[in-house]
């Protein structure tokens, strides 16, 4: 009759692959990436933003987060892919997006208004509308990327978004292979975000004393919870957007 120690070893070997130890670190998830069209950012992320995941782009106003989102959508819409912009603050400028190369024919603009239909006797806020719209679009599928623009939403309001909402968004993005890009003053999705980028304005670029050529931005990778599928792949060519602004990147230790 085998000893208790031998039985234990046999059972552990049998269940090892089915039930890994609780303290075993989970492997990093491998994700396909989509280029942002900004070579320095794509190099920082080893290819671009993850497909089928949540990416957060944070920073104050005029820090470059919207320009980065425009560049990203320009890459996708010029390939004929359909994208969406959920505008919680009613701040989206179609002319600026078009000037950045976004094909507006391939872009659905969800424009949230302050006055809307009541829900259980209370009016919907713009944040409520934006979250509901993003949820519906993610569930519907068919979008290569959805930008959830919370840039004008106060952090004290955005941090109240339930973690269950972000988890549902992450699951839906993974199922539909959609890039959900969240723009905000801070990071809100917490562990549901695969990538967090922190943007900052360095300085304006001028020619002489009166001509403004663009802006110089800095981007830091605050967090990255995935391994790109093709590290070392050939970087995408520079886009026309790169002539408007200059980017500098920095990765946190």
Per residue, the 3-state secondary structure of the chain, as one string, reads CCCHHHHHHHHHHHHCCCCCCCCCCCCCEEECEECCCCHHHHHHCCCCEECCCEEEEECCCCCCHHHHHHHHHHHHHCCCCCEEEEECCCCCCHHHHHHCCCCHHHEEEEECCCCCCEECCEECCHHHHHHHHHHHHHHHCCCCEEEEEECCCCHHHHCCCCHHHHHHHHHHHHHHCCEEEEEECCCCCHHHEEEEEEEEEEEEEEECCCEEEEEEEEEEEEEECEEECCCCCCCCCCCHHHHCCEEEEEECC
pLDDT at 137: 97
pLDDT at 99: 93
CB 179 within 8 A of CB 52: yes
CB 244 within 8 A of CB 97: no
pLDDT at 214: 53
pLDDT at 202: 64
Domains and CATH numbers, the chain: 40-251 (3.40.50.300)
Report the distance separating Cα 106 and Cα 79, nearest Å: 10
Report the distance separating Cα 158 and Cα 206, nearest Å: 36
pLDDT at 235: 38
Residue-wise pLDDT tens for the chain (253 aa)? 567 777 777 776 776 666 555 445 555 556 789 999 988 889 888 899 999 999 999 998 888 899 999 999 999 999 999 999 999 999 999 999 999 999 999 999 999 987 555 555 455 689 999 999 999 999 999 999 999 999 999 999 999 999 999 999 999 999 999 999 999 999 999 899 999 999 887 655 555 565 555 556 678 877 666 666 654 444 332 222 233 444 455 544 3
Q: Please report how the helices 126-140 and 163-176 are oriented relative to each other, as an axis angle in degrees rounded to 10.
A: 30
């Amino acid at each position: 009759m085998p000893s208790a120690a031998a039985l234990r070893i046999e059972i552990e070997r049998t269940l090892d692959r089915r039930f890994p130890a609780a303290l075993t670190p989970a492997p990093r998830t491998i994700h396909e990436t989509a280029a942002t069209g900004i070579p320095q950012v794509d190099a920082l992320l080893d290819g671009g933003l993850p497909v089928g995941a949540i990416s957060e782009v944070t920073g104050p106003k005029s820090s470059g987060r919207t320009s980065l989102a425009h560049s990203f959508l320009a890459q996708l819409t010029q390939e004929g892919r359909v994208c969406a912009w959920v505008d919680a603050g009613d701040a989206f400028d179609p002319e600026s997006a078009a000037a950045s190369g976004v094909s507006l024919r391939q872009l659905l603009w969800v424009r949230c208004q302050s006055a809307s239909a009541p829900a259980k006797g209370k009016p919907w806020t713009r944040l409520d509308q934006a979250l509901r719209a993003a949820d519906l679009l993610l569930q519907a599928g068919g979008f290569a990327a959805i930008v959830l623009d919370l840039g004008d939403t106060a952090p004290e309001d955005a941090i109240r978004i339930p973690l269950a909402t972000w988890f549902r968004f992450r699951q839906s993005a993974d199922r539909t292979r959609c890039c959900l890009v969240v723009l905000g003053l801070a990071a809100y999705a917490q562990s549901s975000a695969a990538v967090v980028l922190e943007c900052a304005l360095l300085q304006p670029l001028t020619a002489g004393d009166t001509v403004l050529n663009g802006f110089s931005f800095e981007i830091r990778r605050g967090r990255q919870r995935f391994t790109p599928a093709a590290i070392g792949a050939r970087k995408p060519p520079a886009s026309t957007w790169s002539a408007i602004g200059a980017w500098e990147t920095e990765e946190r230790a």
